[in-house]
Amino acid sequence: MAIDGSLYHTEAVNEKGLSGVSFIRGNEGLALGVSSSLVKGSGTNPEQLVGLAISTCFNATIEIIEQLHKLPHTSVVHTGVDQLKDDTGYKFVVRVQVLMTGVDHEQAQALVDEAKNYCPVAKMIKQNANVSFEVVDEFAF
């Protein structure tokens, strides 16, 4: 059930951990086989899903910001997600790289900074010490 004021609601379901299928309730066409990144297996893993969510939402938000400033959409977003061991188990390190062809570095940085305050995914993760956003001249993954 959606919370009051919700503009959109979805329910992602996983019933068997890192084996089987994760799916979106009510959307029969969206089901993904899942597996662990730490063992060889078919299916997607949480790292890939996190990367896709961030890249998609953040680039869409940058496009809106560019439109507000009457600029053409030039951004491409790559998100690197690494899993590392830490003191209590595992952690993700997320590196978001933004390439904006034809836009000087200072202006690109200003657009990225603005987008970090509008993008719902960026707002959720930007304060985490394991997350970085960087304007780049070329991708470095």
Q: How far apart are the first and last CA of the chain?
A: 39
Residue 40: per-residue pLDDT = 77
The predicted-structure confidence for 3-58, as pLDDT tens digits, reads as follows 999 999 999 999 988 888 999 998 878 999 999 888 777 889 999 999 999 999 99
The beta-carbon contacts of 39-45 under 8 Å, at least 24 apart in sequence, are: 45/18
Q: How confident is the model at residue 76 (pLDDT cuts 50, 70, 90)?
A: very high
Residues in the chain: 141
Residue 28: per-residue pLDDT = 75
CA distance 22 to 58: 23
Residue 123: per-residue pLDDT = 98
Residue 15: per-residue pLDDT = 92
Residue 65: per-residue pLDDT = 98
Residue 29: per-residue pLDDT = 80
Q: What is the value of pTM for the model shown? A: 0.91
Q: Is pLDDT at 74 greater than 90 in this prediction?
A: yes
Sheet of 21-24: strand order equals: 12-14, 21-24, 31-33
Number of separate helices (H) and strands (E) present in the chain = 3, 6
Q: Is pLDDT at 141 greater than 90 in this prediction?
A: no
